[in-house]
Amino acid sequence: MLRLLRVVIFGYFNLINENMKHAYAFEKLDVWQRGRELNRQIYQLSGQLPGEEKFGIVNQVRRASVSVTCNLAEGSARTN
């Protein structure tokens, strides 16, 4: 059930992103879009790790992957 919910949610967000115009300039960057795809893949893969890793490596890897796109957005705001 949880896996189905994740597929539905990610599919819904992908549909929204394809139909929406870019609200911010950094969303047009290829590197930012690739970072979002990397985030999605990391969340899917890390969800398959054992439960005892939930607060260890899983949390650290997820936060690190999200920080890439966040830093791109922050840096874009400073130059625009």
Evaluate whether residue 5 is within a structural domain: no
Number of domains in the chain: 1
Q: Smallest Cα–Cα separation from 35: which of 7, 11, 64, 5?
A: 64
Asked if residue 13 is part of any domain, the answer here is no
- Give residue-wise pLDDT tens across range 11-43: 545 545 555 567 888 888 899 999 999 999 999
- Flag whether 41 is in a domain: yes
16, part of any domain: no
In a domain, 75, yes or no: yes
Q: Give this prediction's pTM.
A: 0.62
Position 52 in a domain: yes
Cα 14 versus chain centre, distance:
11
Q: Is pLDDT larger for residue 44 or for residue 16?
A: 44
Contact 73, 32 (CB under 8 A): yes
Compute the half-sphere exposure of residue 78: CA atoms within 13 Å on the CB side of its CA: 6
Is residue 8 domain-resident? no
Instruction: State both tokens at 1.
Output: 């059930």
**In which domain, by residue range, is 40 found?**
22-79
